[in-house]
Amino acid sequence: MVSSLSLRSPVAPDARGLPERFLLTADHYTNPVWIPIEQQAIFRRTWLYVGDGDRLQPGMVWARSVAGAPVLIVRDHDGELRVFYNLCPHRAAILSPPAGIHACQKLVCPYHAWVYDLAGNLTGVPSQAQFPESFQKQDFALRSLRLETWSGFMFVCFDDSAPPLVEFLGSIPQHLGQHRTAATQPLAAKQYTVACNWKNYHDNTLCDYHVAIAHRTTLNQVQGPIRHYQHQLEAFVNLLYTPTTADWQAENSVLPTLQGRSREGFFTYGIYPNLHLLGLPNGLLAWLHIEPLTVESCQVSLDLYGDPKFCPPTATLLAEFEAFMQEDMVLTESVQQGYASGAYTPGPVNGLESRIIHQQKLIWDALAAFSDAD
Ligand code: FES
Ligand SMILES: [Fe+2]
């Protein structure tokens, strides 16, 4: 039970609005008991990024797992996007076994051949006369989940009580809503397995304290000096805004459609619970998505989108991202070993770690609410 584990009492914030120490302890990063609890308490209760809607043309189905559940993301023949549990309501067989994206006219269950259209309606039942007279096909449609898009990117949510996606995303649509244009396309996608807990990597990506030190010659060159950092903490997302440097301006052109702050700086958003979105004035959008694998490993996925006319060549972009991501992987794996040593208690909080605390508070609250409901 959660309550018997180390959910430390939240510490009252100080004059900076920050707690004295990190809220999450080494146990939260190393004890496997948290993995199923986090699936229920965190991932099944919020919006989860699943990728670009353009990956699915009408009549295509994407079989995959989201938060440990088998799902089918479908674009029907009218272009409507939907998501269903990949589960037959008759006897729970998985409908579409091969993971991945497939062209598909209809979904046929491999067990007793119930047939579903791409809107999830049950349209065919072998030996239907052998069911009781009360049997109605409309009572056995596929069970759907919420799917909403922002700027063409799809998010899925298991929880009917979560706010609409646009509300969840806070100021992101306002600041990055014009970055994607008709010419935007996927530039690169790459996955990395990292030997650290997913929250450890998320903390690192939210950390504005290490950039000038650990990424001195890489990311720090783009983000510029700490004195120009501007932070914004919202309900579910937080922002580090850094004005473009003279070097960046000399080497890049700004997307002409952008206005105001969107033209003038880099937006580095942290998004609850495991997502990051970077938006640059050349129109580049970079998603970093961190999936738990085991308690001590995670998969980090990098998806880059932009207009090739305005963004650097893909090889250059990937090399730039990988340069600082490799630095982070070394650090997060080192921190993971420290957490596992049994010798660590959380240290004090620097003001440049406020975005970590913002997300740890949300994680804390979700675990505590789950524990109370238990
Ligand atoms: S389990 Fe799917 S038709 Fe029986
Ligand atoms: Fe980093």
Q: How confident is the model at residue 113 (pLDDT cuts 50, 70, 90)?
A: very high
- Look at domain 2-44+179-373 and name its CATH class: alpha beta
Q: What is the DSSP letter of 23?
A: S
pLDDT given at position 4: 42
The predicted structure's pLDDT at residue 290: 98
Cα 264 to the center of its chain, rounded Å: 26
Long-range CB contacts for residues 223-226, cutoff 8 Å, separation at least 24: 223/266, 223/268, 226/352
User: How would you write 54-78 as a 3-class SS string?
Assistant: HHCCCCEEEEEEECCEEEEEEECCC
d(CA 172, CA 256): 19
Q: Where are the domains of the chain?
A: 2-44+179-373, 47-158
pLDDT at 55 over 90: yes
Contact 108, 118 (CB under 8 A): no
Looking at the CA of 331, name the nearest ligand: 2
- Compute the average pLDDT of residues 12-41: 92
Residue 373: what pLDDT?
A: 80
Which CATH architecture describes the domain 47-158?
Answer: 3-layer Sandwich (2.102)
Report the residue count for the chain.
374
Looking at residue 372, its pLDDT comes to 82
DSSP assigned state of 25: -
Residue with the two structure tokens 């998985």 = 94
* Residues of the chain by 3-state class (helix, strand, coil), percent to 5: 30, 30, 40
Looking at ligand 1, which residue's alpha carbon is closest to its atom 4?
112
Q: How many angstroms separate the CA atoms of 175 and 260, rounded?
A: 9
Residue 35 tokens read as 């993995």
- Whether the CB of 111 sits within 6 Å of ligand 1: yes
Q: What is the percent of the chain with per-residue pLDDT over 70, rounded to a whole number? A: 97
Closest C-alpha to 53, from 22, 84, 74, 31: 74
Average pLDDT over residues 162-166: 98
- What was the pLDDT predicted at 116? 98
Percentage of the chain modeled with pLDDT above 90: 88
Q: What is the pLDDT of residue 3?
A: 44
Q: What confidence score (pLDDT) does residue 1 get?
A: 45
Give the lowest-confidence range in 122-126, 153-157, 257-261. 257-261
What are 228-276's pLDDT values in tens digits? 999 999 999 999 999 999 999 999 999 999 999 999 999 999 999 999 9
Overall average pLDDT of the 151-173 stretch: 98
Residue 187 corresponds to which tokens in the numbers above?
A: 């530039």
Report whether pLDDT(61) > 70: yes
- Predicted pLDDT of residue 98: 87
pLDDT on residue 249: 92
**CA–centroid distance, residue 300 to ligand 2 (Å):** 13
Looking at residue 7, its pLDDT comes to: 52
Q: Write the DSSP string, 300-367.
A: EEEEEEE-TTTSPPHHHHHHHHHHHHHHHHHHHHHHHHHHHTT-----B--GGGHHHHHHHHHHHHHH
* Nearest protein Cα to ligand 1, atom 3: 112
Q: Which ligand is nearest to the CA of 96?
A: 1
Q: What pLDDT digit, counting tens, does each position of 168-206 carry?
A: 999 999 999 999 999 999 999 999 999 999 999 999 999
Reduced to 3 states, what is the DSSP secondary structure of residue 12? coil
Which of residues 15 and 369 earns the better pLDDT score? 369
Q: What is the mean pLDDT of residues 126-151?
A: 98
Q: Which residues in 35-66 are b (16+ Cβ under 10 Å) and which e?
A: eebbbbbbbbbbbbbbbbbeebeebbbbbbeb
Q: Amino acid letter at 318?
A: L
Residue nearest to atom 1 of ligand 1 (CA): 91
Q: What does the pLDDT read at residue 112?
A: 98
d(CA 23, CA 362): 10
Any ligand 1 atom below 6 A from CB of 109:
yes
Cβ count within 10 A of residue 188: 15
| Sign of the C-alpha dihedral computed for residues 167, 168, 171 and 177 taken in this order | negative
Mean of per-residue pLDDT scores for the chain: 94
Using the mean position of ligand 1's atoms as its centre, give its distance from the Cα of residue 56 in Å: 26
112 within ligand 1 shell (Cβ under 6 A)? yes
CA 49 to ligand 1 center in whole angstroms = 30
Q: What's the confidence (pLDDT) of residue 96?
A: 84
Among 84, 86, 87, 91, residue to substitute to test ligand 1 (most atoms within 8 Å of Cβ): 91
Reported confidence tier of residue 120, pLDDT bands at 50, 70, 90: very high
> Does residue 5 surpass a pLDDT of 70?
no
pLDDT (tens digit, 9 = 90+) per residue, 293-325? 999 999 999 999 999 999 999 999 999 999 999
From the CA of 125, the nearest ligand is 1
- 125 alpha carbon – ligand 1 mean position (Å): 9
353 close to 207: Cβ distance less than 8 angstroms: yes
